[in-house]
Structure 1
Amino acid sequence: MVRLKVREVAEARGFNMSSLSRAADVNFRTIKSIFRNPYKEVNLSTLAKIARALGVSTSDLIEDVPDEDQPPTAPQA
C-alpha cells in the first residue's frame, strides 16, 4: 500500500493547503482530500505538479507501508 507524505512535506516547507493549491495549480478540494487522507489514490500528473511546487521529487511524497489486511511476507533467502 502507498501512503502520501504530501502534508508532512508541505508543512515542513511552509505551505498550507491554500498556498500549495495555488503553487501547484491543483484544485483546492484535491489538496484538502490528500491532506486529510494520505491513502487517497492520486493521478501521477497531480502528484508531479505537487512535487514540482514543493521542490522535491515525486518519490519524496510517497512511502510504501504494509497492508493491514495481509500478513507480512517472509524474507527471501
Structure 2
Amino acid sequence: MARLRIKEIAQQQNMRQNALALKSGVTEQLLNRYWNNNVLRVDLTELEKIACALGVAPGDLIVSDHRQDINM
C-alpha cells in the first residue's frame, strides 16, 4: 500500500494546506483528501500540480509502506 507525503513535505517548507491549494491550483477539498491520505486513487495531473508547487518530483510525494504490503 502506498501513502502520500504531501503534508510532510509541505510542513518541511512551512507551507499550509490553503497556501498549497492556491499555489498548485487544486481545490482545497481535493488537497485536504490527499493531505490526510483519505484517497483510494490519485489523479496524476493533480499530483503533478502539487509536486510542482512544492518543487519536488511527483514520485517524491508517494511512499510505499512495505511492511503493510507484506502483512496483507
In structure 1, runs of 5+ residues without a counterpart are 71-77
Aligned residue in 1 for 2:59: 59
- The answer for the alignment partner of 1:29 in structure 2 is 29
TM-score by length of 1: 0.80
The residue correspondences of 1:39-50 to structure 2 (distance < 5 A) are 40=39, 41-50=41-50
Displacement, 1:35? 1.5
Q: How far apart in 2 are the matches of 1:26 and 1:64?
A: 24
Structure 2's unaligned 5+ residue stretches are none
Summarize deviations over 1:11-62 as a string: whole Å, max 9, x none: 111211100000000000011111222x622100111000000000111110
Letter in 1 for 2:29: R
Equivalent pairs, count = 69
RMSD over equivalenced CA pairs, Å: 1.5
Deviation for aligned residue 1:69: 5.0
Extract structure 1 runs of 4+ deviating beyond 3 A: none
Distance 1:59 1:18 in 2: 22
TM-score by length of 2: 0.85
Q: 1 CA distance for matches of 2:54 and 2:16? A: 11
In structure 2, what is the Cα distance between the partners aligned to 1:25 and 1:68?
A: 36
Aligned to 1:63, the other structure's residue is in SS state: strand
